[in-house]
Amino acid sequence: MPKTRTALTPGLIIIVGFLTVCPVFMLILGSFSEGLSSFGSFTLSKYVKGYIDPAFADILANTLIFTVGSAIVASVLALFLAYLNTRTNIPFKFLFRIISLIPMMVPHILFAVSWVLLLNPSNGMINLFLRQLFGLEGAALSIYSLKGMILVEGLLDLPIAYLVIAPAMSAFDVSLEESSKVCGASNLRTLFRVTLPVLRPAILAAITLVIVRSLASFAVPSVIGMPGRIYVLATHIYRIVATGYATDYGLAAAVGMSALAASITLILLYRHLTRQGEKYVTVSSRGYRPTVIDLKGAKYPLFGIVALLSFILIVLPVLVLFYTSVVPYSMVPSEKAFAMMSWKHWIAVFKDPISLLSLKNSLYLGVGGATLGIILSFFVAYVIVKVRTAASGFLESLSFLSFSFPGIVVGIGFMWFFVQTPLYGTIWALLIGYIATYLPYGIRPLTSAFVQIHSNLEESSRVCGGGSLYTMRRIVIPLLIPGIVSGWILMATMFVRELSLSVVLSRPGTEVLAVQILRFAEDGLWGRLSALGIIMIFISTTLVIIASQIGVKLTKVDK
């Protein structure tokens, strides 16, 4: 055992180190190079060109407004929901769990598209409806604005902020509040003077995390921002490599460096904040239930807001997409629309070879990539939790690093690498890139699964006469299965809907679903887009259901 362990840690450090450091290293080298073909020839010209560009100041300002705005929208909503869920008697609390899970169900690009379908100025459904109602000329509302981007991104990142804030909220020691009330403060005063200040590290952590996510976000800036000519860093980089006459990967790398640096700084800040948050957590071991505030008359109106949010987040996008996929062109739901419904967009998608190829590729990447990713995550989590040496601590930091990488920037870094190898333009390039970028999502559930296996559980099996293999088979693996399954589901669904890395690495022959949807959006083929989008949601959901069923089976059959 000790021998394999000593070989395992350095081996994993090499693999994970390659996956996380390689794109960064290649990005740095690339940013100082003339072009993909003349790699290694040192030049500063890309930095000069990238940062002297007069448009760059606008892009930075947009990025700042977009990311901070989204973070504020997401965190305020998350705080509101977390407070209602953990501290009040609001009905139907199961809805909150669903809200925190939706990022698995509706891919970001489809969510963004559904808002475009509703609110785009030329034929958005709500705009058409308002036009009919009031006989307006032109568009009443336009999603193609910074405000629109912030709104949609904020809604998309709401679950992330919620997942950071809700645990802190429920771990909160209520006696702090009670003593404030005993001192004569009202509920509202207590909220602002005691509750929120104590939760400050969690709130700041949520804001930081959402800023990182929205900085990396590509779906909203590309689907909503680009038609409105509002560019942020991610779309600016995309524009450099994907559009125009001469793509310039050196310039993209130079610009990407600033996004990467900002991300890494923010993620370090986030880790610092979460550590600080732990200091504040005052959980009592007695399993004490916090007192619940009675909302009285406000109960149902507040619940109405929650229900509306759930509707907007989950039901509306699917509804809009499905409706769009069966009507010939954008129109307000009416008798006429229902009469014209047909499957023609669906048939077109099933006859489109590129759509079918992208379907196949995404499925392959989702299933194969998640399986490989989870195997790697299993060993990394094992070393982090059970081996516990200085090297395993290093491995942990290393594997956490890629959490901060914006997909499009990693994509540029990997591009510089893959061009030098035969992997360029193959599906393997995407596979490696996916695993590198999303490794933390596999490691996270597995480390917590490993942590839960108290060493006594293994030791008692040994004392009972079970050898180490027997113990592994009957105790360790069965106990890990929930972690393995949730890690696999997380990775598989993320791979199926992956966009920001794929737009850079995908080449003819290696199209994937999200990229194909982006192409449809750029071409304005909303009907086909919606049909393919529904298929994408269907695939993700099916993968989730199958994986959880397998998980249930595996944990039960154990005799």
Partner 1 sequence: MEISIRRLSKSYYSEGKTIVALASVDLNIPSDRIFTLLGPSGCGKTTLLRCIVGLEMPDAGEIAIGDKVVFSAEKGIYVPPEKRELGMVFQTYAIWPHMNVFDNVAYPLQTRNEPKEEIRRKVERTLHFVQLDGFENRPATKLSGGQQQRVALARALVAEPKVILFDEPLSNLDAKLREETRKELRSFLRELKITAVYVTHDRIEALSLSDTVAVMKSGRIVEVGTPWEIYFDSDRRFVADFIGRANFVEGKVAKGGEPHTMIDSVIGAIACEKKIGASLGKAVTVCIRPEFIRVLKGDQADGCNIFRGRVESLVFVGDAFEGEIRVNEIPLIFRIEPTTTVREGEEIALHLDPHHCSILLS
Task: Specify the residue, 292 or 552, whose C-beta has the smaller distance to partner 1.
Answer: 552
Closest by CA position to 64, among listed 211, 188, 274, 169 = 211
Task: Specify the residue, 146 or 477, whose C-beta has the smaller distance to partner 1.
Answer: 477
Q: CA–CA distance from 543 to each of 282, 318, 534, 538 (Å)?
A: 39, 18, 14, 9
Among 479, 519, 522, 550, interactor with partner 1 by CB under 8 A: 479
- Cβ neighbours around 344 below 10 Å, total: 15
Q: Scan for tokens 């904040």, then name that residue.
A: 273
- Minimum CB–partner distance for residue 436 and partner 1 (Å): 33
Beta strands in 383-460 (DSSP E): none
CA pair distance 386, 447, nearest whole angstrom: 9
Among 387, 478, 519, 522, interactor with partner 1 by CB under 8 A: 478
CA pair distance 259, 217, nearest whole angstrom: 11
Q: Residue 8 interacts with partner 1 (CB under 8 A)?
A: no
Among 113, 475, 505, 537, interactor with partner 1 by CB under 8 A: 475
Q: Which stretch binds partner 1 (CB under 8 A): 15-23, 405-413, 470-478, 515-523?
A: 470-478
Q: CA–CA distance from 8 to each of 19, 378, 449 (Å)?
A: 16, 12, 20
Phi-psi category of 125—alpha, beta or left, where left has phi over 0 and alpha has psi -120 to 50? alpha
Task: Specify the residue, 283 or 308, whose C-beta has the smaller distance to partner 1.
Answer: 283
Interaction with partner 1 in 425-464: which residues (CB under 8 A)? 454, 456-457, 459-464
Task: Specify the residue, 246 or 463, whose C-beta has the smaller distance to partner 1.
Answer: 463
Handedness of CA 448, 452, 454, 458 (dihedral sign): negative
Among 470, 523, 541, 553, interactor with partner 1 by CB under 8 A: 470
Task: Specify the residue, 272 or 474, whose C-beta has the smaller distance to partner 1.
Answer: 474
Phi-psi category of 184—alpha, beta or left, where left has phi over 0 and alpha has psi -120 to 50? left
Contact 316, 126 (CB under 8 A): no
Secondary structure of residue 33 in the 3-state scheme: strand
- Minimum CB–partner distance for residue 449 and partner 1 (Å): 12
Secondary structure of residue 473 in the 3-state scheme: helix
- Minimum CB–partner distance for residue 452 and partner 1 (Å): 9
Closest by CA position to 99, among listed 47, 42, 155, 58 = 155
- Minimum CB–partner distance for residue 448 and partner 1 (Å): 15
Handedness of CA 37, 40, 43, 45 (dihedral sign): positive
Q: For partner 1, how many residues bind (rule: CB under 8 A)?
A: 20
Q: Which stretch binds partner 1 (CB under 8 A): 202-210, 306-314, 349-357, 465-473?
A: 465-473
Among 184, 353, 465, 508, interactor with partner 1 by CB under 8 A: 465
Q: Residue 472 interacts with partner 1 (CB under 8 A)?
A: no
Interaction with partner 1 in 540-559: which residues (CB under 8 A)? 555, 558-559
Among 466, 472, 507, 550, interactor with partner 1 by CB under 8 A: 466
Closest by CA position to 446, among listed 396, 408, 481 = 481
- Minimum CB–partner distance for residue 557 and partner 1 (Å): 11
- Cβ neighbours around 48 below 10 Å, total: 11
- Minimum CB–partner distance for residue 457 and partner 1 (Å): 5
Residues near partner 1 (CB under 8 A)? 454, 456-457, 459-467, 470, 474-475, 478-479, 555, 558-559
